């Protein structure tokens, strides 16, 4: 009797976990399903009550019109250029800084690391006004320079790479020095290949953050030619008429590059998250 009761309690616990996991999954999945369904609905049909999960007619114009008759092709190109440029530059320069902080001992190293940690705590909204003034004085408003340079490296990226590089043995660098390698060649040929898990995870974080960035591109890019996708989605709204079907469709289209990027680097993200620890 006791064994049967224990088995029943174990089975009930498993069933309860399955039900809770399914409920949580539904909470996260339903908004995505609603987004996909609404992207092929006419705008009037989106607000029908009760809501229809299956549209009466699939409206592919929601995807065609923003690219063919509006400037979303330019917006997507701008987002790709900015996100890729910032990601590549952030990976390279944050790795250099992380390597310096992790493997070298010099005056001011700990102070610099403390400054990096303090800077991580400052919200971007605090720095927007001085950054915008600097960009305006440099003549970088409405340009790729203004969109890319102020955000091309982040304190979090430096800290992330420094924490990972602490775990790397010193033997690799010592072997390179014995073979006559310079420090930069050691970094490029020996250290960087070992950092692929951390670089993959950081690439996903950086790419997603810049792809979804709204506030900074909205300030810097007032001209339509340099707008990114998030700014374009805000600009498509108006007081007279807002094409919600097109907004949903462009939101779905905006997910595709990030999804592809995540699928390519998902294994490195998992490894990077597992290997990067907080160390002193």
Whether 78 and 12 share a structural domain = no
Using alpha carbons, select from 208, 196, 210, 209 the residue that is nearest to residue 261.
208
Domain for residue 161, yes or no?
A: yes
| Tens digits of residue pLDDT in 152-188 | 888 899 998 888 888 888 887 888 888 888 888 888 8
Whether 82 and 220 share a structural domain = yes
Whether 15 and 124 share a structural domain = no
Whether 132 and 221 share a structural domain = yes
DSSP states along 87-108: HHHHHHHHHHHHHHHHH---TT
CA atoms within 13 A on the CB side of 111: 3
The range of the structural domain enclosing residue 221 comes to 63-275
| Tens digits of residue pLDDT in 62-97 | 888 888 888 888 999 999 999 999 999 999 999 999
Number of domains in the chain: 2
Residue 2 CB neighbour total at 10 angstroms: 6
Whether 110 and 14 share a structural domain = no
Backbone angles phi, psi at 154, to 5 degrees: -125, 150
Whether 33 and 78 share a structural domain = no
Domain for residue 50, yes or no?
A: no
Q: 242 or 39: which carries more pLDDT confidence?
A: 39
| Residue 151: CATH number of its domain | 1.10.3720.10
List C-alpha distances in Å: 138 to 40, 133, 141, 145, 226. 44, 9, 8, 10, 17
Domain for residue 202, yes or no?
A: yes
């Amino acid at each position: 009797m006791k064994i049967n009761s224990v088995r029943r309690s174990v089975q009930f616990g498993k069933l309860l976990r399955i039900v809770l996991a399914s409920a949580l999954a539904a909470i996260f999945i339903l908004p995505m399903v609603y987004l996909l369904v609404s992207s092929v609905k006419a705008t009037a049909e989106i607000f029908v009550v009760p809501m229809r999960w299956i549209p009466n007619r699939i409206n592919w114009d929601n995807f065609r019109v923003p690219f063919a008759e509006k400037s979303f092709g330019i917006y997507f190109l701008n987002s790709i250029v900015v996100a890729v440029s910032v990601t590549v530059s952030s990976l390279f320069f944050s790795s250099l800084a992380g390597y310096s902080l992790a493997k070298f001992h010099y005056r001011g190293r700990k102070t610099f690391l403390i400054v990096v940690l303090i800077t991580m705590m400052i919200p971007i909204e605090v720095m927007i006004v001085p950054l915008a003034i600097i960009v305006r004085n440099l003549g970088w408003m409405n340009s790729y320079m203004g969109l890319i340079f102020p955000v091309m490296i982040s304190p979090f990226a430096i800290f992330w790479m420094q924490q990972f590089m602490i775990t790397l043995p010193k033997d690799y660098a010592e072997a390179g020095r014995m073979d006559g390698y310079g420090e930069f060649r050691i970094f490029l040929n020996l250290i960087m290949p070992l950092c692929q898990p951390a670089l993959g995870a950081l690439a996903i974080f950086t790419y997603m953050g810049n792809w979804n960035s709204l506030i900074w591109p909205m300030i810097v890019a007032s001209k339509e030619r340099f707008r990114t996708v998030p700014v374009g989605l805000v600009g498509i709204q108006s007081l007279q008429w807002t094409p919600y079907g097109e907004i949903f469709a462009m939101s779905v289209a905006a997910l595709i590059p990030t999804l592809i990027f995540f699928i390519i680097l998902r294994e490195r993200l998992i490894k990077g998250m597992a290997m990067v620890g907080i160390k002193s």
